[in-house]
Structure 1
Amino acid sequence: MDIDTGLDEFAKKFQQDVISQSQVEDDESFREDQFTEIMMEYLTGADEIDNPIVCYYYNKPRGIKVNGYTVSENEECLDLFISIYYGEVPPTRVPKSDVDAAFKRVYNFLRKAFGNYRLDLEEASPVFDLANRIHELKDALINIRLFLLTDGIVKVESIDDISENNLSISHHVWDIQRLFRLYSSGKKREAIEVDFENKFGGCIPCLPMTESNPDYVTYLAIIPGKTLVELYGKYGPRLLERNVRSFLQVRGNVNKGIRKTIIDEPHMFLAYNNGLSATAEKVEIISSNGIYGIKWARDFQIVNGGQTTASIYHAYRKDKADVSNIYVQVKLTVLKDASRIDTFVPKISLYANSQNKVNAADFSANNPFHIKLEELSRTVWAPAPPGMQLQTRWYYERARGQYLDEKGGEGTLARKKAFEAINPTRQKFTKTDLAKFENTWNQLPHVVSRGAEKNFIEFMALLQERGEFQPDRKYYEHLVAKAILFRQAEKLVQKQQYGGYRANIVTYALALISHKTSQRIDLDRIWKEQSISPVLMDTIIEASEIVHRHITNPPGGRNITEWCKKEQCWEDLFALNLKLPDELEKELISIDGRERTEIDRGIDSSDDEDRKKISEVMKVPADTWFRIARWAKETGNLQPWQRSLSFSLGNLAKRGRETSRKQAVQALRILEEAHRLGFEIGSKM
């Protein structure tokens, strides 16, 4: 397949993705927003941006347009996006005049927002939030990146950056051709190529490892602080994209200490700081009279030392610190087999990071949880909706593009249609969708509102906290039920025409219902019917009205988008009165003991291994637990909470009630400890 044919095929798949997501909304006007969102997802996956927000606004007479934005954690970096969407295959050429006009429109919005443009906007609109935020941050911003996103082909070579006082404004074009190159190269991101010799002040002196190693080569180097400033200024967080945490603000005692050393004792920095760990796919080394230097590096990544790098940069830019006397030690590792980098680099980050705790949940690419969930999604058939015969599957896309790749691999047109009939695009969901469904159900709408990536990281942290968990068929069915609930809620909220904040309203409304029902919505019924009941639909609409009033009237007139990210926003909401309809109460899971339906707790529910433990505990008679409690009290054995739990387990066994997953784990430990200490489980005392 030649390059043009490959591009056309990719563009066709891309357009199908846009159309399928627009169809979910049942509204053609969402097409450009869906295009923007999908492009943003690709750029997030490529670590170009972080937690983007779609925010469409177009004032044609005033020459102003914006399609989305991101603001960095430290509120010093702003990304603004503008889209040119054609929806054509093969891709059309974008005239230079259109490129210039697009950048001018988004730049005009930026300049207006620096002023008082927010006063001309509707306060309840997302664009007001954006304009107001820019106005608030105008004195704090250091870097602004303007992105043009288009499904056309741009031939403009480069656009000059703008420097205004302490502000750097750069231009970035992502067209369909650049996206295809990224996609077809097999890389998750565009590799950084660093020409130290010609663009960053000269070669970096280094000492190569002397012993031969079959897996890697390591170089020890000392890099000037000014070079780090220039690298971070050009590449930003991309330089740290393999780092577990791309450090973007001065937080905590460690980072404040780094800043203090930079400003007060720069000559001591090398002695005090642990330095950087970096990797590269390939390097070019020069030598002269036994002295070695790193001339050039491909895919240069700082995998440990993000704090150091960003702290030096921010001290230089924000505090005007002199970094000419700062030097940082670097351990640069170059793998001989570049294909192993995705498994090798996380281990460097995990083992090398000594400044802050790193959770293993941050390394989620091949987590067994996601692999098992993918397997279930390929084998479990959903019930056919009423009046239909064809059964379908809900397709879990563990990696971006899996769905279209698998569909494209079917060969003939008939087989592709059959694949899509069995796996409808409207029933595809991703890792970030999964996290959104689960954290909404678990009443964390403020976390969901922080953006797809942050919400997913939080979900993975909760999964790690939960301990080893293998999703089974029941978990999968309930997850799909939550997906149905969420997506139907999206449609219902959209029809209310609130004018903005749909994503926040949906997650808050469903979290509110989850809270008010104590999570007793019958997910088994939703799974069987592949839909939600009319009563539940009415409840969602009523809850959405309460949520809309709540979030659009934040205390102190603060930014609505930021207010939705605060836990206080959620706490204030569930304190409000939402009376559930009597008809809904009749549909909820009963907890009076007569029914065995288990309330869904998401990843905190019991899996097969947990149920084995529960079954083992339930075989222990009530009298045994009471005897353990008495024995422990009289002898002083076991912890007080273990003695108390033993008594509670006796009461549960007496009433024939199941223990929880957590109780079962502790119960088995109590039995083991009591046995170790000489208590005879089967004897009478």
Structure 2
Amino acid sequence: MTEIGLRDFSRDLVQDVLATAEATDTTLPDAFTQRMIEHLTEAGELDDGLVCYHRARGVEVSGYAVSDDETRIDVFVTHFRHDVDNPTLPLSELETLMKRLRAFIDKCRDGYRTDVDDASPVFDMVQDLERALKAATTVRLLLFTNATARVLKVTPATVDGIEYVYRVWDIARLHRLLTSGTFHEPIVVDFVDRFGAPLPCLSTPATDRDYSVLLTIVPGNVLANLYDEYGTRLLELNVRSFLQTKGAVNRGIRESLLKTPERFLAYNNGISATASHVDLVRGADGATGIGKLHGLQIVNGGQTTASIHSAVQKDGADVTDVLVQAKVTVVSPDRLNEIVPAISRYSNTQNKVTTADFSSNDALHVDMEKLSRAVWAPSATGDGQDTHWFYERARGQYADELARQRTPARIKAWKLSNPTKQKFTKTDLAKYIASWDQLPHIVSRGAEKNFREFMIRLATNGRPAVDETYFRRTIAKAILFKETERLVSAKGFGGYRANIVTFTIAMLVNATSQRIDLDGIWRTQSLTPALEAAISQLCEPVQRSITNPPRAANIGEWCKRPESWTRVEALPWTVPTALAAELLDLRASRRQGAALPETAAPTDPAVAAAAAVPAQTWFETAHWAKETGSLQPWQRGLAFSLGQRCERKTAPTQKQAVQGIALLKEALRLGFRPAIPVENLPDA
């Protein structure tokens, strides 16, 4: 990292935050906090997180995160300066911010919710933290700053069974995080030069020209040493980041390291690693050994590796007697992106791993990236300046591309063609699509959780054909989402904007039976006045619904439950006449869907009958039920879902089929007359 590199990175970060704040109508500190949450979550440092600023006498907080098992709490406080080039954060100010953050946590333990407005997001935050503090074993106090900060020397302290740990993420540390671990800087380990001897190994017979396999034993101190130097770069292609010691697997690893290190080889499954090249040498005993590994990556066993390092660093464990079995697959460099994820998928046995964990190289994301660089979006202002919607498939791609523009003139031209406000990430993509697919309660669970669910749905339902049409319509959904954010912000609701936005879009799509003209939005890069007016009107009853949960439940938690969407979906809202006049007809709106792979023909009679009903009929049923107030909300939703599955050529489940046939019969009995007659429906 050079001083010039850090200075340029700092300036680009400030511009990114300025653009983000303007686009989302948030404060600069909040926009910076959100960026930090996204970066640290993707790096495995956080379990998602929420921006929630609060300042009162003696306390200050910018947001928080609670691990899934509620054993770890993270609270953040942000210091952001945009008016000073290369700012510094004095130690006295840093300590003051940390004291205010710690005071906030202490107040949460003492019933602070009685002192805050129960209708504000701050109340939800305090309530969440009060509950989590009862089970938490660790509280991390994190300071986010775009300044250069002094090292904060605070020894972790344990109070009432909770360890308090202080961390500072300044501009230098963020720069290291976002610029490390790329394929351009492969890890090369010389075991002879560094550790005094090669690793003993056994090579397997060659079975494929694209790879070879070596079996070896790695001393624990070697793994700890490597992780100490390379950190998560060593795990770059791993299926997941190290999860501290919160899971049963990691606790078991730690216990084995501390109590029976000599038996670690017997108790642990070992690691799987990949390399692009291996240098084999003869050891002192004449046996073949691994002298040097080029492009080393641990793709399975990241938890084992990081647990050994953690045991050494935090517990002072002696890992001299620890041995770890390892399978090293030497893969041709041009096949890394294909073979390595497959190795991760098939070899991982320690924790359940879903398809979402193998997302970066998924064909959908690769195709979206390619199209985002090739497809020009028409000028929204008519000035002739066409632009790209830059899809950041991997962290830091936007900054990398910008860095390649060597002169001020090229930098300016590139930014005009790739405006920051049109950069979007994998989690953004999942948010846009899930909102359109009427899953606002899933979106409300957080960026990473929603993304994992998005990838699971892709694996279950099949990938769409990602062509230019699909890309344009996805960008139209992005524009719809961003403009809804702007319109909701203008209402000044005071909180829960993210929830209001996704629920409003879901309700709009549901009420219009997906007949919004996405192609029209792409052509103009904007919403029509009628659509804007409808969103502005609709968001008000949506806001009232989600911020008044039953039984005075926590609003944030309520928005994550399917019942919250059922309640919003049932709101008595009618599409305004001006918007109804510009909606697509049902047949044209169906053409906005993407073709998906064929699936095997169903064998269950009910499933076969439901699958035989045309998608158009299911959508017409949902639309008719909405217009007439017939059927239950869940039945309307099921009819819509069955239409989507029919489009994708994905058979419904047996339960869905039986319920679908029943609701369709009921609709026909009540007077529904589809364009394509339905005959010979079996008894449900």
Pair in the same fold by TM > 0.5: yes
1-side partners of 2:644 and 2:497: how far apart? Answer: 36
Give, in angstroms, the shift of residue 33 of structure 1. 0.9
Distance in structure 1 (CA, Å) of the matches to 2:32 and 2:476: 27
- 1:315 corresponding residue in structure 2: none
Superposed displacement of residue 242, structure 1: 6.3
Alpha-carbon deviation of 1:147? 0.9
Report which stretch shifted further, 477-486 or 420-429: 420-429
Paired with 1:412 and 1:334, the residues of 2 have a C-alpha distance of: 42
Select between 50-59 and 534-543 the one with higher mean Cα deviation.
534-543
Q: Percent identical across equivalent pairs?
A: 40
Q: Quote how far apart the aligned CAs of 1:482 are.
A: 0.8
- The one of 53, 68, 82 aligned to 1:56: 53
**Structure 1 residues 473, 119: closer, same or farther in 2, change over 3 A?**
same
Q: 1:606 aligned to 2:595?
A: yes
Between 361-370 and 95-104, report the one with greater CA deviation.
361-370
Deviation at 1:161, TM superposition (A): 0.9
CA deviations on 1:72-103 (whole Å, 9 max, x unpaired) are: 00011111111111225641222111111111
**Structure 2 counterparts to residues 247-286 of structure 1, below 5 A:** 275-277=269-271
Describe the SS at the equivalent of 1:75. Answer: coil
Aligned counterparts of 2:307 and 2:414: Cα–Cα separation in 1: 51
Aligned residues of 2:244 and 2:250 also touching (Cα < 8 A): no
Contact map agreement 1:547 1:573 (CA 8 A) in 2: yes
For 2:63 and 2:476, how far apart are their aligned partners in 1?
A: 31
After TM superposition, give the deviation of residue 555 of structure 1 in Å: 2.5
Decide whether the 8 Å contact of 1:551 with 1:564 is kept in 2: yes
Deviates most, 478-487 or 359-368? 359-368
Quick check: 2:200–2:216 contact (8 Å CA) kept in 1?
A: yes
Checking the alignment, whether the CA contact within 8 Å between 1:373 and 1:476 is kept in structure 2 is yes
Give the 3-state SS of the residue equivalent to 1:82 in structure 2: strand
Conserved 8 A contact 1:223-1:330 = no
Q: Distance in 2 between matches of 1:578 and 1:370?
A: 36
Check 1:299–1:420 CA distance in 2 against 1; reply closer, same or farther (3 A cut).
closer
Equivalent-residue separation in structure 2 for 1:348 and 1:387 (angstroms) = 49
- Give SS of 2:590's match: coil
Is the 1:362–1:461 contact (alpha carbons within 8 Å) kept by the matching residues of 2?
no
Q: Which residue of 1 aligns with 2:580?
A: 585
Residue 531 of structure 1, aligned match among 507, 515, 526: 526
Q: Distance in 2 between matches of 1:69 and 1:428?
A: 25
Q: Counterparts of 2:419 and 2:492 in 1: how far apart (Å)?
A: 27
The reply on whether 1:7 has 2:6 as its aligned counterpart is yes
Contact 2:516 2:589 in 1 (8 A): no
In structure 2, distance between residues paired with 1:56 and 1:404 = 28
TM-score (norm 1): 0.72
TM-aligned CA deviation for residue 104 of structure 1:
0.7
Q: What residue number does 1:44 align with? A: 41
One of 344, 354, 359 as aligned partner of 1:349: 344
- Please say which of residues 530-539 and 330-339 is displaced more in the overlay: 330-339
Contact 1:360 1:464 in 2 (8 A): yes
8 A Cα contact 1:372 1:470, kept in partner: no
Query: How far is 1:662 from its partner?
Result: 5.2
- Cα distance in 2 for residues equivalent to 1:250 and 1:86: 35
Q: Look up the match of 1:458.
A: 453
* Distance in 1 (alpha carbons) for counterparts of 2:430 and 2:19: 21
1:663/1:166 CA distance change after superposition, 3 Å: closer
The answer to whether residue 541 in structure 2 is matched with residue 549 in structure 1 is no
Mapped contact 1:152–1:175 kept (Cα < 8 A): yes
Alignment of 1:608-627 (within 5 A): none
Provide, for residues 99-140 of structure 1, a one-character-per-residue CA deviation record: whole Å limited to 9, x for no partner: 111111110111011111111111122221111111112220
- Confirm or deny: 8 A CA contact 1:74 1:248 kept in the other structure: no
Matched, 1:375 2:370: yes
Question: Post-superposition shift, 1:66?
Answer: 0.8
1:363 aligns with 2:358: yes
Q: In structure 2, what is the equivalent of residue 678 of structure 1?
A: none
CA contact under 8 A between 1:519 and 1:599: conserved in structure 2? no
User: What displacement does 1:499 show?
Assistant: 1.0
Alpha-carbon offset, residue 238 of structure 1: 11
After superposition, what is the alpha-carbon deviation per residue over 1:212-266, rounded to whole angstroms, capped at 9, x for unaligned?
9997764447989xxx9xx99xx999998865366969999x989989x99xx99
1:479 corresponds to which of 459, 474, 480: 474
SS in 2 for 1:209: strand
Rounded Cα–Cα distance in structure 2 between residues aligned with 1:123 and 1:437:
30
Q: 1:407 to 1:560 in 2, by over 3 A?
A: same
Change (3 A) 1:17 1:255: closer
* Alignment partners' CA distance in 1, 2:583 and 2:173: 51
CA contact (8 A) 1:377 1:395 kept: yes
Structure 1: stretches of 5+ with no match in the other structure: 193-202, 291-296, 313-323, 615-628, 630-636, 653-658, 668-685
* TM-score (structure 2 length as normaliser): 0.73
Deviation string, structure 1 residues 266-322 (Cα, Å, up to 9, x no partner): 99x98996634365999xxxx9999xxxxxx9999985568999999xxxxxxxxxx
Q: Specify whether residues 4 and 244 from structure 1 end up closer, same or farther in structure 2 by C-alpha distance, changes over 3 A only.
A: closer
- The separation in 2 between residues aligned to 1:5 and 1:88, in whole angstroms, is 19
In 2, Cα distance between equivalents of 1:343 and 1:664: 26
- Matched with 1:17 is 16
The one-character-per-residue Cα deviations of 1:643-673 (angstroms, maximum 9, x if unpaired) are 7589768x99xxxxxx999579699xxxxxx
Rounded to whole Å, the distance in 1 between the matches of 2:123 and 2:92 is: 29
Equivalent residue runs for 1:50-199 within 5 Å: 50-59=47-56, 61-62=57-58, 64-88=59-83, 90-156=85-151, 158-187=153-182
Q: 1:243 & 1:115 partners in 2: Cα distance?
A: 41
In structure 1, C-alpha distance between the alignment counterparts of 2:180 and 2:250, rounded to whole Å: 40
Whole-angstrom distance in 2 between the partners of 1:169 and 1:560: 28
Q: Is the 8 A contact 1:589 1:599 kept in 2?
A: no
Aligned AA (2:157): I
- For 1:25, give the aligned amino acid: T
Distance 1:104 1:84 in 2: 14
C-alpha spacing 1:218/1:147, structure 2 compared with 1 (3 Å):
farther
Alignment CA distance shift 1:638-1:169 (3 Å):
closer
2-structure distance, mates of 1:53, 1:492: 21
Following the alignment from structure 1 to structure 2, what is the Cα–Cα distance between the partners of residues 554 and 539? 24
CA contact (8 A) 2:485 2:497 kept: yes
Give the counterpart letter for 1:142 in structure 2. Answer: T
Change (3 A) 1:577 1:17: same
- Which residue in the other structure is 2:30 paired with? 33
CA distance, structure 2, for counterparts of residue 143 and residue 79 of structure 1: 8
Structure 2: which amino acid aligns with 1:129?
D
- Supply the distance in 1 between the matched residues of 2:127 and 2:341 (Cα, whole angstroms): 39
- Structure 2 gap segments, 5+ residues each: 188-194, 287-292, 309-318, 618-642, 652-684
Q: Work out whether residues 377 and 522 of structure 2, in 8 Å CA contact, stay in contact via their aligned partners in 1.
A: yes
Mean Cα deviation higher: 547-556 or 212-221: 212-221
- Separation in 2 of the partners of 1:568 and 1:310? 40
Per the alignment, in what secondary structure is the counterpart of residue 148 of structure 1? strand
